C-alpha cells in the first residue's frame, strides 16, 4: 500500500516521522511531508506548492492519505477530489497530539479502518471507526469482497445489503463456489456448501430474501429479487491471433467468448499467449483496457501442458505448438471452461483457477 502522510506542526512532524518509520518496516511504501520549517530529514520532505495541489496528486497516486492535524483541514483538502467508494483512497486524520486515529474516508474498500487501527497501535492512540457494521460487529459485504478479491458489481445494492444487516434483517447468500469458515448469522444460505457448492446446505421454505449476495462467475444469475453479484477474479483468457489484429477485433471475439461461457468480464484476471505474441500491440492494448496483465510462454512450455486440446496443424507449423489459446489459458489459469473459439483471425479460450471464499 502506498501511503502519503502530511503534518503541519512541530509535534505533528514528530508523529509523522514515527509513522513513516514504523509503516515502512511493515511493507508500506510511505512518503512523509511537512511544511518546510518543521521538516525532519530524512523521513520528511517539504510540502511544495498549495495543499490542494498536493492532495489532488496524492488522490491519484497513493492508496492512503494521512493528515496529522484538524479534521477540517483534511475535509476541505479532499472535498474536490472525492468520487466514490470504489476508487477513493483511504483517508485518515490524526490529531497533532497523537490521541486519536480517525478513519475519515473509504473505511472498508479503501482500508482506512484497518489503517487507523494500525496507526493507533504505532502511536498509542485510540482508533475512531464510525462505520455501522464495524460498530455493531456485523458482517460487512465490502470488507468481505476486498478480503476475497471479489469484484463488487453494484454499490447501490451493496448499501442496501449493509442497511438491512444493520437493521437486523437477514440477507440471502448464494454461492457457486465452496468456502472456509462459518457463514455469518446475518446471511441466509439459499444454495451452497463449504465443501461442495452444488449441494444445498439449507433450503428454506417460501420465497428467498428480497436482497441477497450471489458469488458466481456470471453476473446474470438472479437468485434474489435484488441481487448483489460478487465475482471472483479467477478467469484467464488465452489468445491467439494474426499479426496486426486490432484491439477492437480482439475485444469483439473476447466478448463473444465470455457471452457463450456466461462469464462476466469482471472475472478476468489475466491474458496469456505464446511468446511470439509478447509485443502484439492489439493484445497489449486490450489488456490495458481491461486492466489485466499479459503473460506469455514459450512453445516448449505450452507443448508440455497436459490435457485434451483442439489441435491445428497450421498453428503447429507456424508456432511450434498445436494450440496456443487453450494451452496458454490452462498453463496460466487452471481448468478450461471455454474451449477454443475461432473467428476473424482470432482464437480465444477461457480457463478458471481454483477458488473458495474465506469467512
pLDDT in tens, 4-36: 999 999 999 999 999 999 999 998 999 999 999
Start-end of H helices in the chain: 10-25, 51-61, 71-78, 112-123, 132-135, 141-147, 155-166, 247-261, 281-290, 299-303, 313-319, 325-333
3-class DSSP state of 349:
strand
Residue 108 exposure: Cα atoms within 13 Å on the Cβ side: 25
A 10 A CB-CB count for 87 gives 11
Least confident of 133-137, 228-232, 252-256: 133-137
Q: Which three cell numbers stand for residue 117?
A: 487501527
Q: How far is CA 181 from the centre of its chain?
A: 21
Q: Which residues of 172-211 are buried (b: 16+ CB within 10 A; e: fewer)?
A: bbbbebbbeeebeebbbbbbbebeebeeebeeeeeebbeb
- Residue 202's pLDDT is 45
The whole-angstrom separation of Cα 181 and Cα 97 is 40
DSSP 8-state code for residue 192: B
Q: What angle do CA 9, 13, 17 make, to 5 degrees?
A: 170
The whole-angstrom separation of Cα 353 and Cα 337 is 10
Q: What share of the chain is helix, strand, coil (3-state, %, to 5)?
A: 35, 30, 35
Q: Which three cell numbers stand for residue 286?
A: 486490450
* Domains by residue range for the chain, with CATH: 2-130 (3.40.50.11220), 141-231 (3.40.1390), 235-352 (3.30.420.180)
Q: What is the pLDDT of residues 74-129, one digit of tens each?
A: 999 999 999 988 889 999 999 999 999 999 999 888 889 999 999 999 999 999 99
The whole-angstrom separation of Cα 152 and Cα 218 is 12
Q: Which three cell numbers stand for residue 113?
A: 479502518
Q: What angle do CA 194, 195, 197 make, to 5 degrees?
A: 75
* pTM score: 0.74
Instruction: Indicate the average pLDDT of the chain.
Output: 92
- Omega into 42 within 30° of 0, i.e. cis? yes
- Residue 311's pLDDT is 94
Q: At what angle do helices 112-123 and 10-25 cross, to 10 degrees?
A: 110
Given the DSSP bridges, would you call strands 90-94 and 100-105 parallel, antiparallel or unpaired? Answer: antiparallel
Residues 272 and 296 sit within 8 Å (Cβ to Cβ): yes
The pLDDT > 90 percentage for the chain reads: 83
- In the chain, the largest separation of any two C-alpha atoms, in whole Å, equals 73
67's enclosing H/E stretch is strand 64-68
The whole-angstrom separation of Cα 87 and Cα 115 is 17
Q: What is the pLDDT of residues 181-200, one digit of tens each?
A: 999 999 999 865 555 544 44
The phi and psi torsions of 115 (rounded to 5 degrees) equal: -65, -35
pLDDT at 205 over 80: no
Q: Of 266, 271, 277, whose CA–CA distance to 299 is shortest?
A: 277
| Residue linked to cell 484497518 | 114
pLDDT at 310 over 90: yes
Amino acid at each position: 500500500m502506498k501511503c502519503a502522510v502530511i503534518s503541519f506542526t512541530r509535534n505533528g512532524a514528530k508523529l509523522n516521522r514515527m509513522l513513516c518509520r514504523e509503516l515502512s518496516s511493515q511493507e508500506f511504501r510511505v512518503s512523509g511531508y511537512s511544511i518546510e520549517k518543521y521538516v525532519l530529514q530524512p523521513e520528511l520532505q517539504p510540502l511544495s506548492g498549495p495543499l490542494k495541489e498536493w492532495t489532488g496528486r496524492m488522490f491519484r497516486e497513493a492508496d492512503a492519505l494521512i493528515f496529522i492535524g484538524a479534521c477540517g483541514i483534511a475535509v476541505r483538502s479532499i472535498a474536490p477530489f472525492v468520487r466514490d467508494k470504489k476508487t477513493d483512497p483511504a483517508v485518515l486524520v490524526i490529531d497533532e497530539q497523537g490521541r486519536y486515529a480517525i478513519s475519515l474516508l473509504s473505511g472498508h474498500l479503501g482500508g482506512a479502518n484497518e489503517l487507523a487501527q494500525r496507526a493507533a497501535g504505532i502511536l498509542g492512540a485510540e482508533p475512531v471507526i464510525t462505520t455501522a457494521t464495524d460498530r455493531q460487529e456485523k458482517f460487512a459485504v465490502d470488507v468481505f469482497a476486498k478480503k476475497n478479491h471479489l469484484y463488487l458489481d453494484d454499490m447501490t445494492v451493496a448499501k442496501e445489503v449493509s442497511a438491512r444487516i444493520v437493521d437486523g434483517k437477514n440477507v440471502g447468500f448464494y454461492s457457486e463456489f465452496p468456502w472456509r469458515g462459518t457463514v455469518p448469522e446475518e446471511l441466509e444460505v439459499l444454495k451452497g456448501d463449504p465443501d461442495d457448492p452444488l449441494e444445498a446446505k439449507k433450503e428454506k421454505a417460501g420465497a428467498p430474501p428480497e436482497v441477497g449476495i450471489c458469488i458466481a462467475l456470471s453476473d446474470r444469475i438472479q437468485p434474489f429479487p435484488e441481487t448483489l453479484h460478487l465475482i471472483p477474479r479467477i478467469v484467464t483468457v488465452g489468445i491467439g491471433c494474426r499479426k496486426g489484429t486490432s484491439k477492437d477485433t480482439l475485444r469483439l471475439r473476447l466478448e463473444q467468448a465470455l457471452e457463450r461461457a456466461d462469464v462476466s468480464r469482471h472475472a478476468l484476471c489475466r491474458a496469456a499467449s505464446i511468446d511470439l505474441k509478447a509485443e502484439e500491440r492489439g493484445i497489449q492494448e486490450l489488456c490495458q483496457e481491461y486492466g489485466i496483465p499479459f503473460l506469455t510462454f514459450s512453445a516448449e512450455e505450452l507443448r508440455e501442458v497436459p490435457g485434451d486440446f483442439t489441435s491445428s496443424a497450421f498453428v503447429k507449423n507456424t508456432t511450434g505448438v498445436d494450440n496456443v489459446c487453450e494451452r496458454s489459458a490452462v498453463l496460466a489459469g487452471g481448468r478450461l471452461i471455454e474451449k477454443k473459439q475461432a473467428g476473424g483471425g482470432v482464437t480465444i479460450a477461457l480457463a478458471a483457477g481454483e477458488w473458495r471464499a474465506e469467512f
